[in-house]
Amino acid sequence: MKQPPLEDFRHTMEQCNHCGQCKWILGPKTRGIDFAEVCPIHMRFNFDAYSGQGLLNMAQEVIEGTLAMTPDMVEAVYTCTTCGACDTNCKSVRDMEVLETILALRRRIVEAGAGPLAAHRDVAGKIAASHNIYGLPHGQRFAWLNDEAVLTEGADTAYYVGDHTAYKNPGIARNTCRILTAAGVKFTVLGTDEWNDGDFLWRTGQAAAAEATARHNIAAFKALGIKTVICSDAESLSVMRDFYPRIADLDFQTLHITEVVEQALDEGRLTFTRKVERKITFHDPCYLGRLSEPYVAWEGEIQAFNRHVPDKTWRRGSDGVYDAPRAILQAIAGLEMVEMVRNAEASFCCGAGGGVAEADPGFAQWTARERLREAAATGAEAIVSCAPLCQCNLASATSAGSPSCLDITQIIVDAL
């Protein structure tokens, strides 16, 4: 399926009235000037060009032929972490596709040969050669697998591990297998047929390469008769719910491990037997929250503001996976959870997504330190996440006095 061209989002570009809602959390959630900004690039660079509004303006000038794709322009477009906060906020006041426009702008830049950035091309080469973003041997993807992982041959449920977990956070993979076994879930893995999920490629505008790796994974699931795919990596969950349906009719549903655990708790298949004495705060990963809503295809005519014929189903970021991780944490005895100001659909990005960690690690670390500062302000001793990418970036930005960084699967295992 061909991705929509940039021109398809002209309505969004033209309807932007520079209200600034893409830069700040909504009024009812504001607790003061501190922790009120929701767009990492605007907060860091403090120019309108670095915001959802600014990127829409650039996109419009590109299709009108008044803005050249200079190296500085391309670099500005790729500072965006594609966290979706601007999109969710904009849709609270107007129905427009801000994030889709940004992604289409990146595709146009790649099609024109002006991008992506050198770091993004380097990662794309590693994915092509080794099927993972790190360029590590594909045969090591399941080196973490041990006898504790009880796999069931012929199971119609598969655990998709993902690059960040397989190569950098193997403990999350082992924890996930332990949790699934404790919950009575019969599952298998793809083994060497598991390739990179395609998210990095898609979000950096490298659509053809993203589609190739996604189609491989879809075919691998189909060959095994997989009906349910479980992810412990929020990035993988997001791309399978959002990008994969754009290129194929899927025979499987995708669930995050927290959704599986919440259901097992409700059905009595899983019980927490141990206390976990700890004060924590929960970081909503962009991929698990705002960006986990399933893709809904739409073709039609935009006749006027807010009038789409036929009616369009809008993904507003409010139906992401927010309740499941909180229900789990609240069910663990001894665990005290405190919320950050920027939470749920107003969560602040960890800074690593959209190719930023690879192209501008300094900015990724700056954003992570801002998130850790917010976590520390709650008095929590640890910040808990559900995304290995967030885990890596937040942990690498810690300093004396910062909360420690944990993945929720570790908390769950500690409580079993």
d(CA 313, CA 365): 36
* Amino acid found at 34: D
Q: Output the tens digit of pLDDT for each of the chain's 416 residues.
A: 678 999 999 999 999 989 989 999 988 888 889 999 999 999 999 999 999 999 999 999 999 999 999 999 999 999 999 999 999 999 988 889 999 999 999 999 999 999 999 999 999 999 999 999 999 999 999 999 988 889 999 999 999 999 999 999 999 999 999 999 999 999 999 999 999 999 999 999 999 999 999 999 999 999 999 999 999 999 999 999 999 999 999 999 999 999 999 999 999 999 999 999 999 999 999 999 999 999 999 988 887 767 889 999 899 999 999 999 999 999 999 999 999 999 999 999 999 999 999 999 999 999 999 999 999 999 999 999 999 999 999 999 998 888 999 999 999 999 99
* Amino acid found at 391: Q
d(CA 199, CA 193): 17
Where helices occur in 156-252 by DSSP H, the ranges are 163, 170-182, 199-203, 207-223, 234-242, 244-247
Residue of 192, 238, 249 whose CA lies nearest to 215? 249
3-state secondary structure 202-223: HHCCCHHHHHHHHHHHHHHHHH
**Which domains occur in the chain, in start order?**
138-266 (3.40.50)
What is the pLDDT at residue 400? 84
d(CA 185, CA 179): 9
Cβ neighbours of residue 211 closer than 8 Å, sequence gap 6 or more:
198, 247
Residue 247 phi/psi, 5-degree rounding, is -115, -10
Which residue carries 């970081």 as its tokens? 283
Task: Give 376: exposed, middle or buried? Use CB within 10 Å, 0-12, 13-18, 19+.
Answer: middle
**Contact criterion met (CB below 8 Å) for 45 and 23:** no
d(CA 212, CA 184): 34
d(CA 209, CA 211): 5
Residue of 346, 378, 379, 352 whose CA lies nearest to 364? 352
pTM confidence score: 0.96
Strand spans (E) along 191-334: 228-231, 253-256, 278-282, 301-304, 307-309
Q: Enumerate the β-bridge partners of residue 343.
A: none
For residue 251 the two structure tokens come to 């025979």
